[in-house]
Structure 1
Amino acid sequence: MKNTRMRAAVAAVSLTTLALGLAACSTDGGSGDDDGATEGAAVTIDDEHSVGAMDDFAAGTTFKATEPVEFSLMYRDHPNYPVKEDWSIFQHLESDQNVTFDRTDIPLADWDQKKALLIGSGEGSELMPVTYPGQETQFVSGGALLPVSDYLDYMPNLSEKIEKWDLTAEFDNLRQDDGKYYILPGIREIPDVQYTVMVNEQMWSKAGITEDPATWDELGDDLKKVQDANPGLDYAFSDRWTDTQTNGALLNTMGPNYAAAGGWGYNNTWYDQDSGKFVFNGSSDAYKQLVSTLHGWVDSGVMDPEITQSDDQAKQKFVSGKSAAVTSNTQEITVYRQALADAKKDVDVRLLTIPGGPAGSNLPASRLSSGLMISSKAAEDPHFKALLQYIDWQYYSDEGMEFAQWGVDGETYSKDGSGVRTLNDDIGYNAINADAPKKLNTDFGYSNGVFLLANGSSQDLLESVMSDEVKEWTRAVLESKEVLPVAPAARLDEMELEQASLLDTQLKDAVEAATAGFITGQRSLDEWDAYVTEMDGLGATQLVDTYNTALARQEG
């Protein structure tokens, strides 16, 4: 690392000030003729902006700048692996790719807020990773972001994977009203399946349960059997990841099986495939069914009504045997096993195959995840073309992704003739070599979301860091589930975006509060019709009409 810059904290500003800052931040957005307001328009990068770029860069080609280049990078500093100047990843990028970074380090806890403040004040870095699709929309009208769809000709690895993995429809959904998209998302060859319910196998066996439930309603029945068979339980199920958003992970996992979106994945609008129109998700019959399922669990006494508890509280209840099931994921199962071992508990745990619901046994459509934005100012830099080539290699080539995931063959891992990768014995990552003294991310900088989108993207890389247990579970889920069709995205114009944003937050807050009340019984489900009227009063119908108007416009 040649040059590192730490920026001081940016003072908080009002939303109005931020909006003004975004509107004031503008640029011509290209180093060539940017006359492409239509989809597919491309921009040519001239020699003046191709310093360090390779002449023969293509899909599968190792990127190495023809001379040293330095890119500005807004770096998300994760507390589990705080950034270190001597990380192997930085050293190899400098020696092998001729790339160094001028970093702006931002703690994870402040990431989204400070990223927005820096962009709004015109201080966005060339590279701004760890950004989820949709988060870029707020910055588009101010001209702060590069319309990356204009430059796909310079990104052969990404272009190849869009076609090979059949991602065109999902990328088209990223387009704004001008027909362009302004984010390069993380992409996955297979759907992302991580979250489900983890169970105490001994308590499950004591209840005589030998098969995973086919539906969430059947899981409720199983929880009742477990509760009855284990009188020492406070509750058969006590949820985790529910302190900041009601049943955030659980409702997100359940939602597609009810034809609704909930929890972490909640959106006010849901595209109804039958009618070909958007409906208001939070007051739909499907959302009512989703909420009613969890209310039934609470009402029958099998689910802990404490839905604002911390993660630590939920974990402690499971480890101490006060609950027999908890929401978990493919990484956390290892953490639970260690906690049980530390507590000298001889307990087997396993992940349930994700159940289905009234709408079928479904997974959400999108295979896009956290990606990166590029500052529009990057197009003015002499090394602009080299920057695009580096991004394409690092985030979308098989070689770049393997490097970001595993590190360097012979230094952090070895690879045999059949392609099987093995971490060095003294290096661990998640469940691999869990007791090793060094960690792949903490001590070397690899397996780091700043440089590795979508946890590796390809099925090969995703499975390469899974235990056999998790790999088998993942394959079983994928075989039993149907991926929902990709819904169209309504491309709101600037005025529609402004109107929708005013309604969106207040509606989400109201739905969140009502969801918690309905689940815990603090509000009766007999009041659902009154709740629907309340949502209309807050603008639910107006919001849906805005989306459907935009959808009709783009469909011609």
Structure 2
Amino acid sequence: MSDAFGRGPLRASRRQVLGYSVAAAGLAVAGCSAETGGGDPEGDLASKSKGAMEGFAADTQFKATEPFTLSVLWTDWPDLPVKDSWTFFKEIEKRTGVTLETTHIPFSDATEKRNLLISAGDAPSVIPLVYTGEEESFVSSGAILPMSDYVQHMPNFNKYVQEWDLAEMITRLKQSDGKSYMVPGLQEVSVPVFTVIIRKDVFDEVGAAVPQTWDEMRTALLKIKQKYPDSKPLADGFEGQSLLNYASHAWGARAGWGFGDGMVDDGAGGLKYTATSPEYKQMVEYFRGLVADDLVDTESMTASNDGGGGGSVAEKFANQRVFAASGSAGTAIEFAQALAETVGQGKFEVLQIAPPGGPAGQVVEPRNFWNGFMLNSELRDSEHFLATLQFLDWLYYNPQARELIRWGVEGETYTKGADGKITLKPEYSLDAYNLNPKGKTDLQKDLGWSNAVFADSTESRALKESYNAPEFVSYIDAVLTSRKPREPYPPAPLNEAELEQASLMATPLKDTVDTNTLKFILGDRDIAEWDQYVAELEGQGLQNYLDLLNGARKRFVEQNG
């Protein structure tokens, strides 16, 4: 058995690994690796362990032995400004002895602002809201810490990586030097966030079952179009990026938000560019067919969800011009609220369905991580370095901490039954999930709980289900019982010089892909010009890009087996 980063054999029994009755000192054994020679790469941590707990273990409360302040990068959502009245910061400090000092950046250009701060050496110690892949550009500069060197000091993280069977996925976070530079949010169960939201009552009305495949979806949309001729029953609302993202897996392709570097397994141990593959073309042809039959709200394929002059997708849903659209659990709530105003409460059924399958099978996106964090490399010299690792391990991965961050203080803002069911007290609301809408104090807006910086990261299935509607719980069950996650995309980490080359090549290629994908689908370009489109990509250096990524892939396989 390996530690969470797959770096070497654990010298502990399975019971110790899963139960974590061992102390932090014992976990240091799990950190030994061929890459670092074992132990802490910075040597003795004695001078960096001020405030740290002795024997810190999983599922225990972290409490600094002496208080300290920790700087954190905080993203401000426009509708969720930080308030002095937030008890989130006060309660964290009370329980842990750690005062969070925030540096604020706006959501509108958060990634750009974050990257500028890191590059200039001005970033706070903790950099949250980091998704896998976003750390790559900072590896060579030494601006962020190689977290795989220190994960042995994070018992909660290691425990849940093992219990939730995520060790192989963690290994895929390695960069070209064999180390990992971010620690991700962990999910006990992973289901696509975005999928199709349907008016199930209308599907029932026209004699269409819940579509299990995209062919069944087309049949259902045709029936709805016949019944409601003025409708364009399928919409996206995210400039086509959401629909193509979750739909692409049914053809074994990658598209939209999930396009990434554009690489998929070529079936022979190498990589191929998805946007020139037969599978991608088949997907494009399918949606072109829907548009040709007037089954797609084409405006929603080129406009964001505010809808522009034609109204938002929610408005079209409410006015019965759209009956199936891209969305998340929150979107389903939004659609239901809009329909209650037009159709009437109790006269409709909104359902979030498992993404339909297709030629590649009943598959969905690969199991994935959620947002985690990076650490400023300057933190390595802090006298509170070890205490910081322990605190973040508690904050991000301890089940009690995760429940606290989502729900607030037990007995104060919520109660918990013997069966584990969480109930928000009537005087509190959580508007983001339409919970107790009559409550006078909102957990998120007024108190800072369920904030987007920390709450949407690591979650057990029970915690995820605790604040979502029963319909979303049914969605989780539907995905887990009827769909299979695709195999993870083969990792091909790039070194510094390769990253720069890849960036210069990938951007114009993807621009061409995005532009022409929509042109083909909307009928602005004849699908007969597909070979010409492929030639255009080749003229932009596609082969050089493929050679670069395949070279990195080969190196990764040689290094990691």
Query: Normalising by the residue count of structure 1, what TM-score does the alignment of the two structures yield?
Result: 0.89
Name which of structure 1's ranges 35-44 and 308-317 shifts more when overlaid on structure 2.
35-44
Larger CA deviation: 440-449 vs 377-386: 440-449
The residue aligned with 1:355 is 356
SS of 1:235's equivalent in the other structure is coil
Q: 1:226 to 1:76 in 2, by over 3 A?
A: same
Q: Tell me what 1:377 maps to.
A: 378
The one of 536, 539, 543 aligned to 1:537: 539
Contiguous gaps of at least 5 residues in structure 1 = 1-33
In the TM superposition, what whole-angstrom CA distance separates every residue of 1:271-295 from its partner, at most 9, and x where no partner exists? 3262221100111111111222211
Counterpart AA for 2:356 = P
Counterparts in 2 of 1:99-498, with a 5 A limit?
99-209=98-208, 211-231=209-229, 233-242=230-239, 247-272=240-265, 274-306=267-299, 307-312=301-306, 313-343=312-342, 345=344, 346-429=347-430, 430-454=433-457, 456-498=458-500
Q: Given residue 267 of structure 1, which amino acid in structure 2 is its aligned partner?
A: G
Answer whether contact 2:200 2:210 (CA < 8 A) is retained. Answer: no
State the Cα distance separating 1:126 from its structure 2 match.
0.6
C-alpha spacing 1:521/1:465, structure 2 compared with 1 (3 Å):
same
> Using the alignment, how far apart are the partners of 1:217 and 1:135 within structure 2?
36
After TM superposition, give the deviation of residue 127 of structure 1 in Å: 0.6
Q: Deviations over 1:174-230 (max 9, x none)?
A: 111111111111111111333222223443233222x11221122012101100111
Could you say if the C-alpha distance between residues 61 and 505 of structure 1 is closer, same or farther in structure 2, counting changes exceeding 3 Å? Answer: same
Question: Structure 1 residues 199, 487: closer, same or farther in 2, change over 3 A?
Answer: closer
The answer to whether residue 96 in structure 2 is matched with residue 97 in structure 1 is: yes
Amino acid of the structure 2 residue aligned with 1:419: G
Query: Which range is displaced more, 84-93 or 112-121?
Result: 84-93
**Which amino acid counterpart does residue 495 of structure 2 have in structure 1?**
D
In structure 2, C-alpha distance between the alignment counterparts of 1:534 and 1:74, rounded to whole Å = 42
Distance, in Å, in 2 between the alignment partners of 1:118 and 1:398 is: 31
Are residues 45 and 248 of structure 1, via their aligned partners in 2, closer, same or farther at CA, if it must alter by over 3 Å? farther
Q: Is the 8 A contact 1:37 1:180 kept in 2?
A: no
C-alpha separation in 2, matches of 1:73 and 1:462: 25
Q: How many residues align?
A: 516
Partners of 1:268 and 1:281 within 8 A in 2: no
CA distance in 2, matches of 1:472, 1:201: 14
Whole-Å separation in 2 of the counterparts to 1:392 and 1:273: 38
State the Cα deviation string for residues 49-105 of structure 1 (Å, max 9, x = none). 111111121111110111111001110112232112231111111111111122101
Return the letter of the residue paired with 1:75: W
Taking structure 2 as the reference length, the TM-score comes to: 0.88
Q: Is the 8 A contact 1:256 1:362 kept in 2?
A: yes
Change (3 A) 1:192 1:214: closer
Residue identity in the other structure for 2:283: L
Shift in Å, 1:324? 2.0
Residues 247-293 of structure 1, C-alpha deviation per residue, up to 9 Å, x if partnerless?
A: 11111111222111111111243332622211001111111112222
- Distance in 1 (alpha carbons) for counterparts of 2:213 and 2:59: 43
Distance 1:376 1:449, change over 3 A: same
Q: Residue type matched to 1:476 in 2?
A: A
Residue 351 of structure 2 aligns to a residue in which SS? strand
Bigger CA drift: 534-543 or 142-151? Answer: 534-543
Structure 1 contact 425–433 (Cα < 8 Å) conserved: yes
Does the residue aligned with 1:470 lie in a helix, a strand or coil?
helix
3-state SS of paired residue (1:100):
strand
The letter of the residue matching 1:485 is E
Which deviations, in whole Å up to 9, do the C-alpha atoms of 1:113-134 show, x marking residues without a partner? 1101111111011111011111
* Cα deviation 1:402-425 (Å, max 9, x = unaligned): 111111101111111221111111
Q: Provide the aligned C-alpha RMSD in A.
A: 1.9
C-alpha distance 105-192 of structure 1, shift in aligned 2 (>3 A): same
Listed one character per residue, the Cα deviations across residues 505-551 of structure 1 (whole Å, up to 9, x for unaligned) are 11111111011101101011111111111111112221121111112
**One-letter identity of the residue aligned with 1:62:** Q
Q: Which secondary structure does the structure 1 equivalent of 2:446 belong to?
A: coil
Asked if the contact 2:236/2:242 (under 8 Å) is kept, the reply is: no
In 2, Cα distance between equivalents of 1:66 and 1:143: 30
Tell me the secondary structure at the aligned position of residue 327 of structure 2: strand
Render the CA deviation track for 1:314-356: whole Å, top value 9, x for unaligned.
2221112222222122122112211222345443322233210
Residues 360 and 322 of structure 1, relative CA distance in 2, 3 Å threshold: same
Give the Cα–Cα distance (whole angstroms) in 2 for the partners of residues 418 and 202 of structure 1.
Answer: 33
Shift of 1:453: 4.1
Q: How far has the Cα of 1:42 moved from its partner?
A: 4.2
Distance (whole Å) between structure 1 residues aligned to residue 381 and residue 494 of structure 2: 29
Partner of 1:501: 503
Residues 146-169 of structure 1, C-alpha deviations (whole Å, 9 max, x = no match): 101100111011111112212122
Q: Return the offset for 1:39.
A: 6.5
Please tell me whether the aligned partners of residues 520 and 527 of structure 2 are also in contact (alpha carbons under 8 angstroms).
yes
CA contact (8 A) 2:232 2:296 kept: yes
How far apart are the structure 2 equivalents of 1:116 and 1:169?
A: 28
Cα distance in 2 for partners of 1:420, 1:251 equals 36
Amino acid at match of 1:494: E
